[in-house]
Amino acid sequence: MQGKILGGRYEILDKLGTGGMAVVYKARCTWLDRVVTIKLLRDELVNDEEFVRRFRREAQAVARLSHPNIVSVYDVGQEDGVHYIVMEYIEGSTLKELIREEGRLSPEKSLEIALQICAGLEHAHENHIIHRDIKPQNILITNKGRVKVTDFGIALATTGATLTHPGKIMGSVHYLSPEQARGDMVGMASDLYSAGAVLYEMLTGKVPFEGESPISIALKHLQEPIIPPRQIAPSIPEPVEKVVLKSLNKNPAARFKSAKEMAAALKAAARDELPADFIVSDGDSGEDPNWTDGTRAFDKIDEKRLRGKKKRRIRTSFIVAAGLVGVLVAVGLYMLGVRLLVVPEVTVPSVQGKLVNEALTDLQAVGLKGAVASQQYSAEVGKDRVISQSKEANSLAKQGSTVELTVSLGSQMGSIPNVKGKKLPEASIIITNAGYKVGTIEPVITNQVPIDEVISQMPVGDSQAPLGSAVNLIVSGGTGQNEVMTKVVGMKLDLAKGEVARLGAVLGSVAEKESGEYFLGQVMEQDPPQGTMMAQGAIVNLVVSKGPGPIPKNASVVVKVPPTPAKVHEVVIIVDDRKDRREEYRGSHPSGDTINQTVRYYGPARIQVYIDGQEVWSTNK
């Protein structure tokens, strides 16, 4: 996939990882020149039309969310059977990686992360979006410490796809709410239960429930009381424990009513200011509010209520057992169908760079079919060798499926243009338009040929050479008269090129670098620097900004017009900054008037005030 362009704008750069439903890539948006994350749906999900329909609808809804604690979804698309979602690229790690690294987090750090999770959920819930799969793997921590909740759209689509994937529990069972385990309606309270489970793991270093299988863990979410966090880590403040236990109440109605309410309780717990009437359990949640040391205070429950509870528990156990039997039967039938009907998968070998016949043999050896889908010229890959393969090496593919190959026709030959006698800029354009690139440029001091004119080239003009190869030039450097290098930093590249040519120098390399100080296309570095004495034909190398450029700032300008016999004075405010030198304000004011203007500037700036053509005030920013 590396180098592939999706949607005419997203260039795949690197593979970041593989998940249960998608392969994740780092990519660059060529339109906006920014790095993004792209998730490509796996083949088995792409073939599920209902899943794809739901995925696109829900992902487009999530794309409307905009919050600093939610990973932004930029675009959803499909091309040649590949369905993808384009998201904000985050430099950092997952919360799961952080917990694995530190074991368990301090209460202060845990609360800080939990508050940001609640903030993201509050925004999503206000827009009628339920996540359904909150887990540490879906919580990203940027290098600056900001929390970002991700995978909203995929989590939503996953829930709808459960029926089309029998035998699988979609989502992470360790953080699953009881109502999700039962298959009931899922709402905001389900996300808050999962957020409570994540907070539990941050504080204790352990998930709320563990078991030998996903089904056994799901049953524990339904039936078993949770071990209070302070029994695992006594240093956890008691108010914080109360908030965790309330969020993990098995009764959705007894949990927090919203993410905003949960965040308020977390803040109060951090200050040890939980209200005295704060209720952890309503007694009907499946969890006893009188839990103290791992046993239940049965002496506080009258005998009649105890008998009622036992009956309810027997009924609940019977229903759960019947459901478990049904699930096991369904899983058994599903696995039998898999054995009878599902085609086995094989690992795709890497055939890139191999001769086409050798590649076809390697594919056949593992039970795959090879087919030459296209042929194209290539200066990097030899004739009859594989340039790319449709299925990625080391990925899994159905036995008997076809791997399409793109095969090289070798280098396409062309005729080198004759640029002898041309000025260097014109010669460079001619060479590039002919399908070649300009190689080395060697200046020679001479009185015989005008400066910047091509003296000779290699290969010579009208000879045959592979397209894409380099043409080296020897150009006139002039008479050797010394010039002082002027400042071109801050100029647009075209103006800087003109200044280099005016000085009798030759433009060398032009590199690009991201900059928050200079605008896109502005020269940010020059070699040699300003003030350097240089001979005619000297090489000048430049570095040009790729943006995004300086952030605009505002400055307040307050100036009093002096009292003079003249009744009206012309006032002009000039700003000289990274952008340019420009007039930000011009107006007429009476004598004695006070001017109070706000002007905008970019990067280091000099602000000057002129009254009737005379500078009366200035400042550097």
Residues 129, 135: contact at Cβ < 8 Å?
no
CA angle 363, 368, 372 (to 5 degrees): 65
Residues 491, 479: contact at Cβ < 8 Å?
no
Secondary structure of 537-599 in the HEC alphabet? Answer: CCEEEEEEEEEECCCEEEEEEEEECCCCCCCEEEEEEEEECCCCEEEEEEEEEECCCEEEEEE
Residues 181, 220: contact at Cβ < 8 Å?
no
Question: What does the block give as tokens for 270?
Answer: 């951090």
Residues 555, 585: contact at Cβ < 8 Å?
no
What is the rounded distance in angstroms from the CA atom of residue 248 to the CA atom of residue 232? 16
Active-site entry in 14, 43, 133, 577? 133
By residue count, the chain amounts to 621
133 is catalytic: yes
What is the rounded distance in angstroms from the CA atom of residue 121 to the CA atom of residue 266? 15
Question: What does the block give as tokens for 134?
Answer: 């909150």
Using DSSP's 3-state secondary structure scheme, residue 36 falls into strand
Using DSSP bridges, classify how beta strands 402-408 and 369-376 pair: parallel, antiparallel or unpaired: parallel
Using DSSP's 3-state secondary structure scheme, residue 365 falls into helix
Question: What does the block give as tokens for 615?
Answer: 């500078």
DSSP H or E run through 429: helix 424-433
Question: What does the block give as tokens for 193?
Answer: 């239960």
Using DSSP bridges, classify how beta strands 34-41 and 82-88 pair: parallel, antiparallel or unpaired: antiparallel
Nearest to 131 by CA among 44, 85, 65: 65
Rg of the chain, C-alpha, whole Å: 34
Looking up tokens 């004759």 gives: 418
537: Cβ–Cβ under 8 A, 6 or more apart, which residues?
A: 443, 444, 445, 451, 475, 476, 477, 478, 480, 504, 505, 506
Nearest to 87 by CA among 63, 108, 107, 67: 63
Nearest to 65 by CA among 98, 87, 41: 87
Catalytic residues: 133
